[in-house]
Amino acid sequence: MITFSNIKMLVLDVDGTLTDGIYQISEKNGMVTKSFYTRDFYAIQKVMSVIRFVLIVTQSHDVVITSQIQRIVGHSQIWETMLNYESLKIFTGIDDKEKCISSELLDRKLGWDNVAYMGDAENDLPPMKKALFTGCPADAIEEVKENANYISDFPGGRGAVYDFCMKIYNENNKENV
């Protein structure tokens, strides 16, 4: 049985999880764009009231997620505080997500039994196999679904992160009544 109050760190993949995994590239200047679901970020903020840290870890080298977070920070004191106090960290260009997360866990004196992880593809499997609670979007690959504790009814970039975060938030609140 999972004790949700043990979760101290939420780790999220970007492409296929926070986004629908589709890259749009401008013919004129090669600019990459991605779509994000607003409610996902609302739920991340909400779950931060019951956990301490959020890591966003992506293999992608583009700066779209960093730009999205900076946009939110520009309109929200809560997000600015999370970023300034390193409660929220973004890692791009990460080939070995497990190693990146392990380093952050060590720095924060936490273990994998404190991690909730959501991803959708092959490179998410190593950290998923170690995390306490794992989730994936409805459109994740089969092998990820087989390794997830929670499969959202929603696809990546369309509410899966919202669903996963609210599951953690609600279960944590049930335990602490």
pLDDT (tens digit, 9 = 90+) per residue, 140-169?
999 999 999 999 999 999 999 999 999 999
Q: At what angle do helices 160-175 and 38-47 cross, to 10 degrees?
A: 20
The pLDDT score that the predictor gives to residue 167 is 98
Strands lying side by side in the sheet with 53-57: 88-91, 53-57, 9-12, 115-118, 133-136, 150-151
Residue 7 falls in which region: left (phi positive, over 0), alpha (psi -120 to 50) or beta = beta
Comparing C-alpha atoms, which of 11, 16, 6 is closest to residue 44? 11
Per-domain residue ranges of the chain: 4-175
- Whether pTM > 0.75 for this model: the answer is yes
Strands 150-151 and 133-136: parallel
The pLDDT score that the predictor gives to residue 79 is 81
Encoded tokens for 124: 């998410």
> Three-class SS of residue 75?
coil
C-alpha 175: how far from its chain's center?
Answer: 22
**Which residues make beta-bridge pairs with 116?**
10, 133
pLDDT in tens, 61-120: 988 888 898 888 888 888 888 877 789 999 999 999 999 999 999 999 999 999 999 999
Domain 4-175 annotated CATH 3.30.70.360 = no
The pLDDT score that the predictor gives to residue 120 is 98
Q: How far apart are CA 90 and CA 80, in angstroms?
A: 13
C-alpha 70: how far from its chain's center?
Answer: 16
The pLDDT score that the predictor gives to residue 171 is 96
Q: How big is the CA angle at 74 (ends 70 and 78), to the nearest 5 degrees?
A: 95
The pLDDT score that the predictor gives to residue 162 is 98
Comparing C-alpha atoms, which of 128, 131, 135, 175 is closest to residue 159? 135
